[in-house]
Amino acid sequence: MPATGAVTRNTLRQQIADALRDEVLAGRLRPGQEFTVKQIAEQYGVSATPVREALVDLAAQSLLDSDQHRGFRVCEISVADFRGMVEARSLIADGVFRKIAEGGVSGAHVGALMAVRRRADEAARAARAGDLDIFIGYDLRFWRELGSLIENPHISDFLHQLRLRCWVFSVPHLRGDPSLKERLWSGHSEVVDAVTRGDGEALRAVIGAYYAELVAWAERLESAESAESLERSQQ
């Protein structure tokens, strides 16, 4: 019985963490929003223990900030932080995914690559439809499953956490953006094609262009924030 109880609690803990992560990525829990263990436990109709554990897990992933006296708060990520994360992703991905491409796809990875291609197709459909929530889900799964080909969970997990935080930053800016369809990257299939061909240079070019787009977007946001700040100071 104790083992069964532990499994049930751990499963509930993961379910709550997943649900809250989805709330953050959907923009329903906004940056800076505060809440307590009690509030979340009442919202989901569960005991405080798995909720506290789930919130601690999300804080460890840098999606939430914890305060001993005030509870938890959705992380507020600055443009500068976003640019730094994009740079870190770029530096790591450049070497890692190029190594995957140049090393070739082994027979053991063929099935995984087919699944990655399906994620790419779904992400492309979501991008064309301008469906941000669906796109985020497939984008995260695409990179997560492609990253599994690295066979180094430490690198794969690190890149995944950076992507999650980048999306936490991006969602409030993208939600309601009239140019949303133009903002949603659609190069997933090109990445899979390059990996399948073993073309490291092509892969590097596609991913490099992707990160350049993200940096350019961050610079535009930074300029807009500076202009708004200057306007407020002059009022």
pLDDT value at residue 5: 46
Report all structural domains of the chain as residue ranges with CATH numbers, in order of start.
Answer: 2-74 (1.10.10.10), 79-234 (1.20.120.530)
Q: Is residue 176 over pLDDT 60?
A: yes
Identify the band that residue 129 occupies on the pLDDT scale cut at 50, 70 and 90. very high
Q: Is residue 37 over pLDDT 90?
A: yes
Model pTM above 0.95: no
Report the distance separating Cα 179 and Cα 175, nearest Å.
Answer: 10
The mean per-residue pLDDT over the stretch 145-153 comes to 83
Nearest alpha carbon to residue 77 among 15, 200, 169 = 169
Q: Residue 73: beta bridge partners?
A: 34, 65
pLDDT value at residue 226: 79
Q: Percent of the chain beyond pLDDT 90? A: 57
pLDDT, one tens digit per residue, over 180-225 is 998 999 999 999 998 888 888 888 899 999 999 999 999 999 888 7
List the structure tokens of 129: 């439809």
Q: Residue 74: beta bridge partners?
A: 64
Residue with the two structure tokens 């100071």: 233
Cα 1 to Cα 6, 96, 141: the distances in Å are 9, 44, 35
Q: Percent of the chain beyond pLDDT 70? A: 90
pLDDT value at residue 4: 44
pLDDT, one tens digit per residue, over 2-23 is 444 444 657 899 999 999 999 9
Query: How deeply is 3 buried, as exposed, middle or buried, from its count of CB atoms within 10 A (0-12, 13-18, 19+)?
Result: exposed
pLDDT, one tens digit per residue, over 25-35 is 988 899 999 99
Residue with the two structure tokens 């309601």: 176
